[in-house]
Amino acid sequence: MISRRTSIVNKVHSRVNLIPATGCWIWLGPHSGTGRGGGYPRMNLNGQTVAVHRVMYTHEHGYIPGKKQIDHKCRNRLCVNPSHLELVTHKENQKRRDRARKEQPFLSG
């Protein structure tokens, strides 16, 4: 019998495109739209919509405290590679976003 955890990871892996040049695992399934705060991968688990990058971070690294956020070190919101995800404060996440926008203005999404 396959574990729930393995089943979830297999579900995620079936919907990603691996990009060897960057190491990103690009989510090909649904996402949170194009509005403010949009563009994050979503999937259904037991009838509930969840953020795929948070699922993968939790699978690899464990619990996400309530006051923390997950930052995409690769700056790609659709990436669900746990090694590209880092637990940070809201303030740090905003600093990194602003720094990335200054360095590469085309990323301002």
Residue 51 confidence (pLDDT): 95
Between CA 101 and CA 89 the distance in angstroms is 19
pLDDT tens column, 40-82: 999 999 999 999 999 999 999 999 999 999 999 999 999 999 9
Other Cβ atoms within 10 Å of 29 Cβ, number: 16
CATH for the stretch 4-107: 3.90.75
Sign of CA dihedral 40, 9, 59, 80: negative
C-alpha count within 13 angstroms, C-beta hemisphere, residue 63: 3
- pTM for the model: 0.87
Nearest to 97 by CA among 85, 83, 109, 79: 109
